[in-house]
């Protein structure tokens, strides 16, 4: 597996901003700077069609419908959901859910929304309301979560961890588990260069709270079986034992490599937290803005130590935005960076037990995976935004076996490479023929 997304021909995921308006005003949010009399922009239906067509024709797979608060622009949200589905792409929605009603959620479910990522900052209503700058928002969100789940839509929570709520991760997860949620994501706050100097650094957590955040997540997984992760990049050298911290690995920086953001007016950014824009999709299309953000794909954007690190391809120097804010240098180090010395061997879920199992078992290729030809390799889309890169000869083998649905053994697999085949099992690209339960139990904690 290559995991090296620097040369791919176009984005995998597009964040599409439907409205800038939001009933909350989260203190750390990249939209916080807007003045009270700011006139919020909304997307038009014509532009939704235009951006979706352009993204699709450039090989895009997954659209994240976001804001501001998308439920404030419900007609656009519904139009966008239908548009994404009609074009054969997958989607997810970012919404606080505080404006959810049973009728709206039923309509969204029928249109094809299966999952919504919401944001909650604490189990303590006062802390949430303080961070969101809105009294009562905690209660409105809990109510919205229940309504949404009642309509049959899965809800996961993204907790943004700042200096204000850094000790609240465990209790927040516990509360969410008690109301029936099973997936909990906690991310350290990414400061935005869009915010003023005084705000930029104010809420960024340091090493000790970041370790506590990960420990609390692992504890929630252990005690309640919750699915946990972080979806913003963390330095792999900070994680220590990578097998133990598997849930937080291989989530390198997406900016301009897998993702781009298209704002309501068509201006594009590589990262939602970034101030710089790379042109307007109206003028130069998705292809043009993707080319303009090429600096994000260059290795020299990373600090020297990261460029030489064995895990560079999966860690990608963690967060460049944080590096810029703490060192005024895009090629500086992330504030949690520990350097490559002392990195331990990383098995990525391919344990000896799994390798032994692979030697005895037969497999078939997941019929759902899709292939996108890239320069010198293939991009495999597994589900939603989940993609990997693999070398041509492995991809040729998978394509052929997917077509015939033939089962195969390790002896038939290119190079008889059990580690590579093990990764395909972990990433759900191949399935085992007979002993699915054994395979599942071996990879359960590592599954991607």
Ligand X SMILES: C[S@@+](CC[C@H](N)C(=O)[O-])C[C@H]1O[C@@H](n2cnc3c(N)ncnc32)[C@H](O)[C@@H]1O
Which residues sit at the interface with ligand X, rule CB under 6 A? 22, 28-30, 66-67, 69, 94-96, 117-119, 158, 160, 187, 189-190, 192, 232
Q: What is the CA radius of gyration of the chain?
A: 22
Query: d(Cα 67, Cα 80) in Å, to the nearest integer?
Result: 13
**Least Å distance between CB 385 and ligand X?**
14
Q: Which is closer to ligand X, CB of 101 or CB of 366?
A: 101
Alpha-carbon separation of residue 12 from 5, 107, 133 (angstroms): 10, 27, 34
End-to-end C-alpha distance for the chain, whole angstroms: 14
Q: How far is the CB of 189 from ligand X (least distance, A)?
A: 4
Distance, CA of 414 to chain centre: 31
CA–CA separation, 24 and 144 (whole Å): 14
Helix pair 436-443, 352-360: axis angle to 10 deg: 160
- Between 22 and 318, name the residue whose CB sits nearer to ligand X: 22
Cβ 70 to ligand X, closest distance in Å?
7
Q: Is 376 left (phi over 0), alpha (psi -120 to 50) or beta?
A: left
Min CB(243)–ligand X separation in Å: 26
Kindly list the distances between the CA atom of residue 90 and the CA atoms of 86, 315, 341, 380, 428, in Å, as whole numbers in the listed order.
10, 25, 40, 15, 17
CB of 207 to ligand X, least distance (A): 18
Q: Between 48 and 194, name the residue whose CB sits nearer to ligand X.
A: 194
CB 148 → ligand X: shortest distance, Å? 13
Q: Are 254 and 273 in contact (CB under 8 A)?
A: no
Q: Between 151 and 160, whose beta carbon lies closer to ligand X?
A: 160
**Rounded to whole angstroms, how far apart are CA atoms 266 and 286?**
10
């Amino acid at each position: 597996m290559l995991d090296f997304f620097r040369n791919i021909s176009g984005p995998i995921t597009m964040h599409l901003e439907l409205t800038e308006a939001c009933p909350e005003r989260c203190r750390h949010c990249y939209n916080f700077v807007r003045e009270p009399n700011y006139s919020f922009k909304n997307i038009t239906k014509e532009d939704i069609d235009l951006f979706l067509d352009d993204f699709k024709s450039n090989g895009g797979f997954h659209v994240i419908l976001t804001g501001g608060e998308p439920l404030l622009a419900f007609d656009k949200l519904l139009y966008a959901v239908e548009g994404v589905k009609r074009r054969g792409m997958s989607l997810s929605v970012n919404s606080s859910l505080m404006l959810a009603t049973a009728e709206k959620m039923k309509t969204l479910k029928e249109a094809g929304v299966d999952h919504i990522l919401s944001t909650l900052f604490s189990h303590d209503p006062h802390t949430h309301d303080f961070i969101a700058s809105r009294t009562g928002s905690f209660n409105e969100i809990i109510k919205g979560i229940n309504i949404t789940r009642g309509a049959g839509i899965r809800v996961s929570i993204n907790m943004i961890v700042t200096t204000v709520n850094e000790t609240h991760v465990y209790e927040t997860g516990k509360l969410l588990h008690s109301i029936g949620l099973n997936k909990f994501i906690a991310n350290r706050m990414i400061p935005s260069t869009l915010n003023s100097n005084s705000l930029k650094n104010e809420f960024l957590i340091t090493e000790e709270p970041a370790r506590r955040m990960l420990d609390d997540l692992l504890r929630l997984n252990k005690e309640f079986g919750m699915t946990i992760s972080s979806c913003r990049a963390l330095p792999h050298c900070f994680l220590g034992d990578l097998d133990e911290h598997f849930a937080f690995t291989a989530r390198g920086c997406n900016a301009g490599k897998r993702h781009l953001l298209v704002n309501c007016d068509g201006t594009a950014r590589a990262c939602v937290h970034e101030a710089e824009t790379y042109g307007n999709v109206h003028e130069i299309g998705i292809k043009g803005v993707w080319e303009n953000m090429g600096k994000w794909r260059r290795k020299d954007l990373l600090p020297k130590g990261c460029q030489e690190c064995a895990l560079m391809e999966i860690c990608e120097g963690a967060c460049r935005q944080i590096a810029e804010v703490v060192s005024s240098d895009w090629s500086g180090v992330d504030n949690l960076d520990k350097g490559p010395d002392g990195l331990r061997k990383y098995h990525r879920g391919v344990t000896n037990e799994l390798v032994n199992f692979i030697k005895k078992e037969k497999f078939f290729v997941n019929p759902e995976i899709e292939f996108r030809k890239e320069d010198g390799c293939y991009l495999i889309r597994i589900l939603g935004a989940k993609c990997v890169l693999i070398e041509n000869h492995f991809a040729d083998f998978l394509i052929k076996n997917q077509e015939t649905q033939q089962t195969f053994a390790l002896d038939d697999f290119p190079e008889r490479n059990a580690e590579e085949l093990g990764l395909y099992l972990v990433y759900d690209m191949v399935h085992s023929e007979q002993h699915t339960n054994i395979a599942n139990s071996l990879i359960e904690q590592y599954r991607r």
